Structure 1
């Protein structure tokens, strides 16, 4: 896979047939009916670029991407075998976690580090649960959702999941929530930060007592309930400009009481 170019039978994967979503679904339905290996081969070849895109994420961590690519293809074939065409899900959406799962499993098993069995068990359960989230909600589960479902704290979850990878930096991406990458360091709870947040919360509650009823209601509805100024204005039967003015005044008061 030098220069990220993959060749099979002397052909660059870029040259293989590209199937539309409809063509892919039709072939998947046909394959499920007759298990024709020629159809499966066509589906595999048309999705090799997807495998390559996932494999390339590990280019800084492994010496031989060819082995990883072959492992990814195994995940792709499993996705073809188990895909349910009755679900309103694109094949690529379903295939990605299976391909990634095979790759991560290979890296975990080939890692020279000895990972505690307890962490491996947690990581395994978390990965399975994440796959279930992908099938059910068409997205990956968040760390908060996984930790709650597994009844463990987020610190332990991150430690377990990070143990499935080779040694990496804290800036290594471990999840993407659709708004950008999330690195490992950001997922490790900062106990000092938590204590500071608690203290700020206490100070804020004390400062709120100095606001009048209307100021307190506007602050509560805007910052705690997420209502817009327009929605608050309608609720209080005043203009949006008045809401804005009262909010600024309340924030100024809070800042004054909290700073001194």
Structure 2
């Protein structure tokens, strides 16, 4: 007997199938069997663990590797080469910021340090050879840090410090931090010298060199306290300053006199002795001392080019 087409069972439509699948999934999540099912369901296989998202550093390294592969086949100076090179610089700027963070204690604007480090990054990109098998961050970090250190050594210091003293200052700084952590207090100069096996004089010289990054103007006003500058607070007028030139001239003229006349002048005007005391000191008459003084004055006036 032929079943009419209108009465033949039809396959469920697609929306119904999706609703059934959703119901089954929800039931499986709740630990219950879907309604209408009489057969025992086989335990489903445990889901595969989701792939952990790669870190930003791994993504940057992968992108850097791809960009260097593109850069090798491009002509230097072409627009495409410039575009890929700029993309490499931008992708590796976090490396520069990481290196610049090591110099926060130098009291230098971080924007300036990052700019200097970026110059080192550009130099590293131009010199990097991917065929050597070295990761770019490993190759670029010494170049970036070296550029920043060169900036501090040549441009930041107000007073030039010898290279040996600068390198020793870095060691003194590191030893000071370690000893402070160990002792719970600031270490003494002797403790730092014993740690580094150097003299205390070298430690003091390094500490003094560390203060040469910035020089404060004597005329600069003090911030916050409203006090005048150091020049107004520490300076004073030396009353003997006006006589510096005259004293130097007298010293120059005295050496031209005979030794006995030099002694008479010193006894008279530096030891404040009278002519009678000078005559007793030298064993000559007071009149002779007076004549010698008059002759010395005549010689000094004739040799004085200013009065002449």
**TM-score, normalising length: structure 1:** 0.41
Q: Which has the higher contact order (CA 8 A, sep 6+)?
A: 1
**TM-score, normalising length: structure 2:** 0.35
Structure richer in strand, relative to its length: 1
**Quick check: which has more Rg, 1 or 2?**
2
